[in-house]
Structures are given as structure tokens and as C-alpha cells.
Structure 1
Amino acid sequence: MHIVAIIAAAIIAGGAVFSGGAVAYGKVSASYDVTSTHTRVATFLHG
């Protein structure tokens, strides 16, 4: 399991909630960040 990616996703999600503004943008940004982070982690692990 990509534990680092999961932790990163939790941090990103927490940051989006904490910011409180532009919720829709935050969700889109978080989704993009999670995807790119997962890609980076996978590349690092398998790379």
C-alpha cells in the first residue's frame, strides 16, 4: 500500500478544509495533487 500517498492525501485534504475558502477549487486541487503525488510515490518506489 502507498502509505505515503495516503498520508499526503490526508494532509492535502486537511489543508483544503482548514483554508475554508474556495471549497470547489480546493476539492479539484486536492484531487489533482493526490493523483500527482501518487504518481511521484509510485515512480519513486518502482523507479
Structure 2
Amino acid sequence: MMGLHPKYMPRLEGGTANPTVATLVAASVAYKVPLRDLFSEDDKGT
């Protein structure tokens, strides 16, 4: 997928991982979504 270990993905999706900016960019490219879509509305402004 993105060069990430398969066991890391549930942590990333569940919000318990601490991804780098590069990991977040890679995820947005892999899922074909804007980077901002990886964050919930609650995260804006904090």
C-alpha cells in the first residue's frame, strides 16, 4: 500500500498512532483524498 506495516494501519485509522507528515501525505495520495479530509471537523482550530 504505502510502505507501512499492515499492523500499523489499524493504529493509524484508529487515531492511536503518531504519524509523520510524510505518512499523512502518503495516506492522502494512496486514498486519493485531500490531506485535510484525513482530519475530523473537531480538529480544526486546535
- After TM superposition, the score normalised by the length of structure 1 is 0.25
- After TM superposition, the score normalised by the length of structure 2 is 0.25
Q: Of Structure 1 and Structure 2, which has the larger fraction of its residues in helix? A: 1
